[in-house]
């Protein structure tokens, strides 16, 4: 909703006001203002629109996810680098159902910008391997699959990786 810079300015103003409240002896008001400032700091690192898009994605509602992502008008200015990575990651997931070329572009951009979780990086590389496999780029697909396998530390994607490796043998 707010630009990332406005969130930091609001948090700083709230911390300053909280300091003033502490000096005036209003300890309860100061604590409440610091807690409110922490919300803005949290939303600086975790964009609220991307959080809502992830909730829609969790419910398998791709149209709802796309509507939430459409609310971000200028992602380069409104989001931090990692948030831009997740913005592109979500777009890649959406377009993997519609247009593989667009999905590949979004996944590559998400990997370039960076994702926080190894699972997300592994999922993006697995999706890229699937796209490469469908476009008959076997060498690239095997490389991406091996990278995804290394990143999948909790073995959540082993079944999909094995299935794709079997399909690669048929090509």
Q: Let me know if 52 is exposed, middle or buried by CB neighbors in 10 A (0-12, 13-18, 19+).
A: middle
pLDDT at 25 over 80: yes
| Tokens (6 digits) for 152 | 């999948």
pLDDT at 30 over 80: yes
For residue range 50-101, what is the model confidence (pLDDT) as tens digits? 889 989 888 988 888 889 988 888 888 778 888 889 999 999 989 888 888 8
Task: Output the average pLDDT for the chain.
Answer: 87
- List the domains of the chain with CATH numbers: 1-45 (no CATH), 47-170 (1.25.40.10)
pTM: 0.79
């Amino acid at each position: 909703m707010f630009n990332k810079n406005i969130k930091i300015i609001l948090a700083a103003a709230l911390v300053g006001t909280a300091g003033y409240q502490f000096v005036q002896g209003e300890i309860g008001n100061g604590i409440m203002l610091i807690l409110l400032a922490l919300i803005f700091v949290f939303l600086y690192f975790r964009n609220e629109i991307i959080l809502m898009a992830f909730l829609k994605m969790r419910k398998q509602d791709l149209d709802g996810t796309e509507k939430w992502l459409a609310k971000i008008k200028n992602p380069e200015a409104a989001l931090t680098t990692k948030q831009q990575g997740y913005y592109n990651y979500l777009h890649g997931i959406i377009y993997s159902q519609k247009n593989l070329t667009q999905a590949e572009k979004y996944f590559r951009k998400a990997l370039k910008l960076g994702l926080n979780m190894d699972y997300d990086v592994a999922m993006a590389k697995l999706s890229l391997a699937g796209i490469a496999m469908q476009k008959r780029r076997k060498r690239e697909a095997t490389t991406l699959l091996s990278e995804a396998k290394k990143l999948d530390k909790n073995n959540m994607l082993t079944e999909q990786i094995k299935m794709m490796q079997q399909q690669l043998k048929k090509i």
